[in-house]
Structures are given as C-alpha cells and as structure tokens.
Amino acid sequence: MIRLLGRATSGNVQKVLFLLEEIGLPYVREDYGRQFGNTATDEYKKLNPTSKVPTLVDGDTVIWESNSIMRYLAALHAPQLTGATPAERTYVERWMDWLLGAVNTPYVAVFKDAKKEPAERAADFAAQSADLVAQLKILNGHIAGKSFFALDRFTLADAALAPIVKRCLDFPIERPEFPELTKWQKSMDGREAFLVATGQKPSAKASAAYATRASLANALLHLSPVGRGRRAKRAG
C-alpha cells in the first residue's frame, strides 16, 4: 500500500491527498513534520534528505517533492489527469511549476505573518502581500469563463493549485474580490476528494496511521538489500 509521510495540515501534503482521493487509490498517511520531531532523524533523511514533507513510499520507490509525487501517481494510475501529448502536458504542468516558482515565496511569507500584529511582521510583509495579490490576479484572469485551469477538465493543475489558493483567498490581507478565482475555488471545495484532503471529511480509502520509529524502520528495511533478500527467500 502507498504510504504518504506528512502532516495533514501541510498544503503540499494536501495536494497529494487531493490527488490520491480523486484517483481512488488506497493509501495510508502517517504524521511526519517538525512538530512531531521525526523529519530530522537519520532514518527519515535516508528517505528524504531535505527533512521536509511530503514523502511518498510506494514499494521500493521513494519520492519527495509534492509535484514530483503527483506526476508519478498520475503517470501510473491516472494519465487522463495530464495530457495526451507533450504539448498538452505543458498546459497542465506549467501551473504546477508556476505555483512553486512564482507563488510559493510570497505565499509562505504571508502565511507566516498574516495573523501577527503589524509591528511583529517581517519588514517585507507589504511587498510579499502585494506580490501574492499580483499572482492571484494572474489566476483570476486565466480562469475567467473556465471551469478548470487546463484542457477543459480536472487535471493535476487544479489538484496542485486548490489547497494553496484556498489559503491565499482566506488570508486577512487587502486584495480585490477575484470573483472568477473564488468561483473556481468553490467548485474545488465541493469535490469530495478535496473535502477529505483538507480534513473536512473522513476518507473511505485511507488507513489511519501514526508515524513511529518502528514504522519508519520497517520502510527502510523494505527498501534495503537485506529486506529485498528476505522477500526473495519468502517468494522462493
């Protein structure tokens, strides 16, 4: 079974959860993150040297970086969520890359400081907020008159954007209304998979699990030459 390591409140983990639920794959999510004290361990770093979440373990395959995980899952289980040609795939994946390249920096900055008193905010908070609003304006313009961000259907672009855009629209900062983007976000909010991914509804596909040293050790053993040898003996 697929194992997703990462806290449920992480936007990047929610992107992967949204996709897993949309595809309908069975999986188990385990609590990993700084607050659990288990991502800086040697054991976890063997899986993900960045000490960040999410990390996905699928048999002998270990993947980190949320967009890479999403591409992997779609390629194996839901190619319809990308494009049928290389050109079509660019229409989908450009929004995933843009999310990291253009939105992530102001998003993280505003996320950290938006609820603080003005005097406690970083010196560049106003500039970061303005940058975030500018990026949201791009999204609002693109989605006008459309239901989805690419190929006139739900794709990885929507799955990657929705958990992050939802937070951006909820930040207590000065911004225009962005009616088209808000309309699209409401349509994402209503999808059952999104409700599960954002913790508003329990999953019928996921098994409950909590990250422990024992479970991580089992994963590492499974991936090691020793573990493979044991499986080979059992198969023989």
Q: Which residue has the higher pLDDT, 117 or 214?
A: 117
Would you state the pLDDT for residue 32?
A: 98
Cβ–Cβ under 8 Å, residues 109 and 130: no
Would you state the pLDDT for residue 216?
A: 55
Quote the radius of gyration of the chain (alpha carbons, Å). Answer: 19
Contacts of 110 (CB under 8 A, 6+ apart): 125, 128, 129, 132, 168, 171, 173
Would you state the pLDDT for residue 95?
A: 98
What values do phi and psi take at 28, rounded to 5?
A: -130, 130
Q: Which residue has the higher pLDDT, 220 or 84?
A: 84
Cβ–Cβ under 8 Å, residues 116 and 174: no
How many other CB atoms are found less than 10 A from the CB of residue 133?
A: 18
Task: Name the residue ranges covered by the structural domains of the chain.
Answer: 2-79+205-235, 82-195
Bridge partners, residue 125, by sequence: none
pLDDT tens per residue, range 158-210: 999 999 999 999 999 999 999 999 999 999 999 999 999 999 999 998 975 43
Would you state the pLDDT for residue 225?
A: 56
pLDDT tens per residue, range 23-66: 999 999 999 999 999 999 999 999 999 999 999 999 999 999 99
What SS3 class is residue 61? strand
Q: Give pTM, 2 decimals.
A: 0.87
Q: What is the mean pLDDT of the chain?
A: 91
Question: Do the first three CATH levels of 2-79+205-235 and 82-195 match, i.e. the same topology?
Answer: no
Q: pLDDT band for 222, please (50, 70, 90 cuts).
A: low
Strands of the 61-64 sheet, one edge to the other: 61-64, 55-58, 2-5, 27-30, 206-208
Q: Which CATH class is domain 2-79+205-235?
A: alpha beta
Q: pLDDT band for 69, please (50, 70, 90 cuts).
A: very high
Euclidean distance between the first and the last CA atom of the chain, given in angstroms as a whole number: 22
Q: How many CA atoms lie within 13 A of 147 on its CB side?
A: 6
State yes or no: pLDDT of 227 exceeds 70: no
> What six digits make up the tokens of 92?
């989908």
How many other CB atoms are found less than 10 A from the CB of residue 142?
A: 15
CATH architecture of 82-195: Up-down Bundle (1.20)
Percent share of the chain, pLDDT over 70: 88
Reduced DSSP (H G I as helix, E B as strand, rest coil) percent helix, strand, coil of the chain, to 5: 60, 10, 30
Question: What type of residue is 138?
Answer: I
Rounded to whole angstroms, how far apart are CA atoms 196 and 206?
A: 10
How many other CB atoms are found less than 10 A from the CB of residue 68?
A: 12
> What six digits make up the tokens of 107?
């998003």
The dihedral built from the CA positions of residue 100, 102, 103 and 106, taken in this order, carries a sign that is positive
The single residue listed with the structure tokens 């936007």 is 11
